[in-house]
Amino acid sequence: MNEKNTISVATMKRLPLYLSYLQSLSPDAPVNISATSIAAALKLNEVQVRKDLALVSSGGRPKIGYKTVELIADLESCIGSEVLHEAVLVGTGNLGKALLNYNDFGRYGVHIAIAFDQNPENIGNCVNGKEILPCEQMPQVCAQRGIRLGIISVPQGAAQAVCDEMVKSGITAIWNFAHVKLIVPPGVVVLDEHIGTSLPWLVGHLS
């Protein structure tokens, strides 16, 4: 299996789709499954599915396909993480709360351990068992717990400052929900999740 960080974001996003499709198959289904039939079921490009699966599993045989159980195991091993990485989240507005309440990031190897906010009304509250602390405590908390993963769910105007604080706190991987391109030093990676920015594409199809 390839190292995760050599697989593209686009491929990584498709892997959970393959996995949930395979897991949804009846126990009576044939023991083997081909990239062709997965592609057809998910309405994806066959060449793309074939390439994606080859990155994840070496079990594919010409004209036979993959053993379904083996492919499921290989996908789980690639998507999941042996280690559960703790993350901090900054910004506990509606989006932040939604992320704190979501319990399924664990299957992608992430557990949001603690949240930070600068609004005194939110500080001291708990969301889904996760405490909200003042932002000033981030460096200390990250150092104590060895946290290197940060989630930014603050408004656009505040995101770069939060990002800078995260970097100072030893965060090296940032999941950014603010609609702004963050500037980070070498060695820090940012994954942008700009919700809504692809809406114009969808709206364009209404016209």
Q: What is the nearest approach in angstroms of its own copies to the Cβ of residue 99?
A: 8
Question: Could you say which DSSP state residue 21 is in?
Answer: H
| By CB under 8 A, residue 98 contacts its own copies | yes
Number of residues that bind its own copies (CB under 8 A): 60
Give the Cα-Cα-Cα angle 42, 48, 49 (nearest 5 degrees). 50
Phi, psi of 116, rounded to the nearest 5 degrees: -130, 145
| By CB under 8 A, residue 16 contacts its own copies | yes
**CA-to-CA separations, 185 to 8, 79, 86, 119, 170, in angstroms, rounded:** 21, 27, 22, 28, 12
| By CB under 8 A, residue 104 contacts its own copies | yes
What is the sign, positive or negative, of the torsion defined by CA atoms of 121, 127, 133, 135? negative
| By CB under 8 A, residue 172 contacts its own copies | yes
| By CB under 8 A, residue 145 contacts its own copies | no
Q: What is the nearest approach in angstroms of its own copies to the Cβ of residue 53?
A: 15
Site for its own copies, rule CB under 8 A: 3-5, 7-9, 12-13, 15-17, 20-21, 42-44, 78-81, 85, 93-95, 97-98, 101-102, 104-105, 108-110, 148-149, 156, 172-173, 175, 179-181, 183, 189, 191, 193-207
